[in-house]
Structure 1
Amino acid sequence: MSMSRASRSRERLVVVGGDAAGMSAASQARRLKGPDELEIVAFERGHFTSYSACGIPYWVGGDVTDRDQLIARSPEEHRGRGMDLRMRTEVTELDVEGGRVRSRDLESGAEEWTSYDKLVLATGAHPMRPQLPGIDAPGVHGVQTLDDGQALLDTLARTAGRRAVVIGAGYIGVEMAEALINRGYEVTVVNRGQEPMSTLDPDMGRLVHEAMEGLGITMVNDAEVTKILTGGDGRVRAVATEDVEYPADLVVLGIGVRPETALAEAAGLPLGDHRGLLTDLAMRVRGHENIWAGGDCVEVLDLVSGRERHIALGTHANKHGQVIGANVGGGYATFPGVVGTAVSKVCDLEIARTGLREKDARRAGLRFEKVTIESTSRAGYYPGADPMTVKMLAERRTGRLLGVQIVGREGAAKRVDIAAVALTACMTVEQMTALDLGYAPPFSPVWDPILVAARKAVVAVRAGSAP
């Protein structure tokens, strides 16, 4: 058993989880307090630290050729900064009352308790694995960690067949479908939704559907997987819905992720409706003075709807870590919330969204107007001008911007950042029409597509608010 809190001359910070949020918190705390003031012990059950999980589909697809390109800081680099980083070590129990954690070395099986003065939970999320027959068969892969990505690549290397089925069509599902196409696989995506990318409204998701089919991906929508079929060798051989079987030498789960909060729940820490940990603005777990949490295991405040959401993104995780590290290290910082901005791509089709979808706005009790416009990424006469579709939601009567979705070619996705800033500032669509955005023919039309949508939304709001 490790030394008790009372017998130590310096504070001990224990971090559970060695990726973005956990090691960002540890690094920021170390900048503020040296090893003589703060001891840092971090536990990571995998083989890697501080890596880009968002880059895994591009590594699998071959756009990123070396796994180490995705690693921002190795275990050795963290240890060189005075951290006791214990790899391949899983925390199995939290004793909140006693201020300690139980860990198990995954190589030797040895267990021990480690006491803490301050605790950071950065346990991440895990891929959803529906309780279906055959779901745990060899050849079925979730993709969330670098270890998951390596396991998938190992399977690709030893699988003779070239048929892949992706279950689910969210960000991971769509990106993995493209990665497998790039690897020369015949890919079928089985999606329970009306269209791919449920983070978009179905009318915008339809544009993604068309682009995926243009890549040679077979899209199967409104379909529920009922079981994974296996062959005589126990490996996956097909994915079955109620009436169809889709042959598969490989299956990738792209259904989404859930917060990894089993430890926290067992310890009695507060969870939200999405099973994520609940924190205050300083990322401190509610009701617990010396416990913080960040990254994919927490829920965050949606600044547009005013509700808690679970959004698994590396951008948020790194910000959470910076906030936690500042507070643990004796400084002060807060994380006010998010507006739900995300971008992705299918081949050269760029996909972006921020704020609320139609169903989100209705769920929040908001009445709204919606508009959709077609524009181009550059002045129409300039070479390379590509079409772009922008959908905008604005609150009825007030005209407050509620959400934006964009689907287009080069130059489309990052335009969503304009809308993200407008949402954060609680701007109305009328105020947006006066934004002084950069213009030159190689970059945009005279009226940027975002401003064209805002102008149309102003007209819709005025018409909808008329007696």
Structure 2
Amino acid sequence: MERLVVIGGDAAGMSAASQARRLRGPDELEIVAFERSHFASYSACGIPYWVGGAVPERDRLIARTPEEHRARAIDLRMRTEVTELDVPGQRVRSRDLESGAESWTGFDKLVIATGARPVRPPLPGIDAPGVHGVQTLDDGQALLDTLAGTRGRRAVVVGAGYIGVEMAEALLNHGFEVTVVNRGEQPMATLDPDMGRLVHEAMDGMGITTVDGAEVSKVLTGPDGRVRAVATQDAEYPADVVVLGIGVEPETALAGAAGLPLGSYGGLLTDLAMRVRGHENIWAGGDCVEVLDLVSGRERHVPLGTHANKHGQVIGAGVGGGYATFPGVVGTAVSKVCDLEIARTGLREKDAREVGLRFVAVTVGSTSRAGYYPGAAPMTVKMLAERRTGRLLGVQIVGREGAGKRVDIAAVALTAGMTVERMTALDLGYAPPFSPVWDPVLVAARKAAAAVGAAER
């Protein structure tokens, strides 16, 4: 009998284990999985909405319990951390976090799904009580406990990316006065600055104070040792709780120490079948890997649950004796802060310049429904297209209800390598409750096609 060892019990790891179990029974393949936290197989993307109260119960985020995995002959060992990976010896060292006991476990096949960790800069006071990163269910529970026990109602969110703006909404829902301190030019650095400005203006209208161009230098504490403020070079922002929304990094210290190949973002490098390059019986997936950007042709770190689950399916097929591939991504993401929807796919202007692409950029304003239909909400669509060829390069959307998921039109077009001219003929669904007669994405495509033509004349 072969043994599969899985390091990490969330989306990628347990998807891989479950798929491998479907293909190979317990008499053929033993599966041992290690998870250091109290939870496995849960939606990390849902944590801000649980913290904010939109999801009333933590357990609604759990897709499958440890007991359910064990009932399918997957030996899932919770609160057990893998501390060393011996690649030549094909074994891992683990430590039971409750008892401290350590042991070695051999493997024939290995899956590394260690995820990502919140960026926590080495600033004075960063580890003070009341300062929280939010990456796991344990992190979310710790933050909720702090919110429940905090008498003051001032919160500072450090960073204005996806986690930052989502946590700003969650804290607002708890009745906190929220300040977002952001070192970038505008919120949402995954957007171009002109689109980020729309997010800033909308957040101001929600009562969230957004301070751009401000880098945190230290966290100040009171006589009790708890956080009392966040300081930048120019100002101090009082805080009874601080949430770090700076972003995440691949959790690859274990893999790096074992000599496995890492990319420029610190993520593991794999082939199309999610095998770690140069290692026939080691796979990796989820937030700890880098993936191919199909638009730029470069490797990127894109930590999303959608990718992690797909990675797991591909890995499980390979472990189970089949074959599947993960070809890459176009960089699609969607989020919200209160009633504002924010979406992007493909390249920003900065990205296009970095890979040497010449492009045109257009921006259009439209509505989510026919303008005369009740509930029509404004949205802004920005589109990038390559000069000369007209190939779609990227789309960004900021608007109210009905705006965000329109990015999927562009994601499909990017994956198919479509030109903006060809996009204008897409046969999209239309009725006044759902869209204007010309969908906003197609309006942008028409304008982009005209800009490409003008640029080449």
> Above 0.5 in TM-score?
yes
- Are positions 1:13 and 2:18 aligned together? no
Match of 2:98 in 1: 107
Match of 1:314 in 2: 305
Distance 2:88 2:145 in 1: 43
Instruction: Tell me the CA shift for residue 292 of structure 1.
Output: 0.2
Of 122, 125, 142, which aligns to 2:133? 142
Instruction: Tell me the CA shift for residue 144 of structure 1.
Output: 0.4
- Are positions 1:405 and 2:396 aligned together? yes
- Are positions 1:323 and 2:311 aligned together? no
Distance 1:216 1:140 in 2: 22
Counterparts of residues 18-57 of structure 1 (less than 5 Å): 18-57=9-48
Match of 2:211 in 1: 220
SS of alignment partner, residue 269 of structure 1: coil
Of 161, 175, 178, which aligns to 1:170? 161
**Amino acid of the structure 1 residue aligned with 2:278:** G
**Amino acid of the structure 1 residue aligned with 2:8:** G
SS of alignment partner, residue 438 of structure 2: coil
Distance 1:345 1:43 in 2: 33
- Are positions 1:364 and 2:363 aligned together? no
Instruction: Tell me the CA shift for residue 36 of structure 1.
Output: 0.4
Distance 1:388 1:185 in 2: 28
Distance 2:204 2:166 in 1: 14
Distance 2:206 2:61 in 1: 26
Match of 1:3 in 2: none
SS of alignment partner, residue 82 of structure 2: strand
Instruction: Tell me the CA shift for residue 267 of structure 1.
Output: 0.1
Match of 1:417 in 2: 408
Distance 2:94 2:313 in 1: 25
Of 212, 221, 230, which aligns to 1:230? 221
Of 119, 142, 156, which aligns to 1:151? 142
- Are positions 1:432 and 2:428 aligned together? no
Match of 1:242 in 2: 233
SS of alignment partner, residue 452 of structure 2: helix
Of 248, 251, 258, which aligns to 2:242? 251
- Are positions 1:280 and 2:275 aligned together? no
TM-score of the pair, normalised by structure 1: 0.97
Match of 1:4 in 2: none
SS of alignment partner, residue 186 of structure 2: coil
TM-score of the pair, normalised by structure 2: 1.00
- Are positions 1:395 and 2:390 aligned together? no
Match of 1:211 in 2: 202
Instruction: Tell me the CA shift for residue 365 of structure 1.
Output: 0.6
Instruction: Tell me the CA shift for residue 399 of structure 1.
Output: 0.2
Of 317, 320, 329, which aligns to 1:338? 329
Could you give the per-residue CA deviations for residues 275-307 of structure 1, whole angstroms, max 9, x where no partner exists? 000000000000000000000000000000000
SS of alignment partner, residue 229 of structure 2: strand
Of 86, 99, 113, which aligns to 1:122? 113
Match of 2:451 in 1: 460
Distance 2:434 2:344 in 1: 20
Could you give the per-residue CA deviations for residues 196-242 of structure 1, whole angstroms, max 9, x where no partner exists? 00000010011111111111111100001000001111111100001
- Are positions 1:193 and 2:187 aligned together? no
**Amino acid of the structure 2 residue aligned with 1:417:** D
**Amino acid of the structure 1 residue aligned with 2:291:** V
Distance 1:243 1:450 in 2: 41
Distance 2:91 2:456 in 1: 58
**Amino acid of the structure 1 residue aligned with 2:261:** P
Instruction: Tell me the CA shift for residue 244 of structure 1.
Output: 0.6
Distance 1:420 1:47 in 2: 35
**Amino acid of the structure 1 residue aligned with 2:101:** A
Runs (5+) with no aligned partner, structure 1 = 1-9
Distance 1:157 1:288 in 2: 48
Distance 2:258 2:328 in 1: 26
**Amino acid of the structure 1 residue aligned with 2:299:** E
Instruction: Tell me the CA shift for residue 465 of structure 1.
Output: 1.2
**Amino acid of the structure 2 residue aligned with 1:51:** Y
Distance 2:381 2:80 in 1: 47
**Amino acid of the structure 2 residue aligned with 1:296:** D
Which segment drifts farther, 89-98 or 211-220?
211-220
**Amino acid of the structure 1 residue aligned with 2:147:** L
**Amino acid of the structure 2 residue aligned with 1:233:** D
Distance 2:36 2:114 in 1: 10
Could you give the per-residue CA deviations for residues 301-344 of structure 1, whole angstroms, max 9, x where no partner exists? 00000000001100000000000001100111000000000000
- Are positions 1:376 and 2:370 aligned together? no
Distance 1:370 1:156 in 2: 43
Distance 2:172 2:222 in 1: 24
Runs (5+) with no aligned partner, structure 2 = none
SS of alignment partner, residue 319 of structure 1: helix
Distance 1:380 1:128 in 2: 43
Q: Alignment RMSD, CA only?
A: 0.5
- Are positions 1:355 and 2:346 aligned together? yes
SS of alignment partner, residue 92 of structure 1: strand
- Are positions 1:59 and 2:46 aligned together? no
Distance 1:435 1:58 in 2: 34
**Amino acid of the structure 2 residue aligned with 1:47:** H
Could you give the per-residue CA deviations for residues 409-449 of structure 1, whole angstroms, max 9, x where no partner exists? 11111110000000000000000011011111111111110
Could you give the per-residue CA deviations for residues 345-388 of structure 1, whole angstroms, max 9, x where no partner exists? 11111111000000000001101000000111111111111111
Distance 2:171 2:231 in 1: 20
**Amino acid of the structure 1 residue aligned with 2:427:** D
Which segment drifts farther, 207-216 or 192-201?
207-216
Distance 1:176 1:45 in 2: 24
Percent identical: 85
SS of alignment partner, residue 164 of structure 1: strand
Distance 2:192 2:171 in 1: 26
Number of aligned residue pairs: give it.
Answer: 457
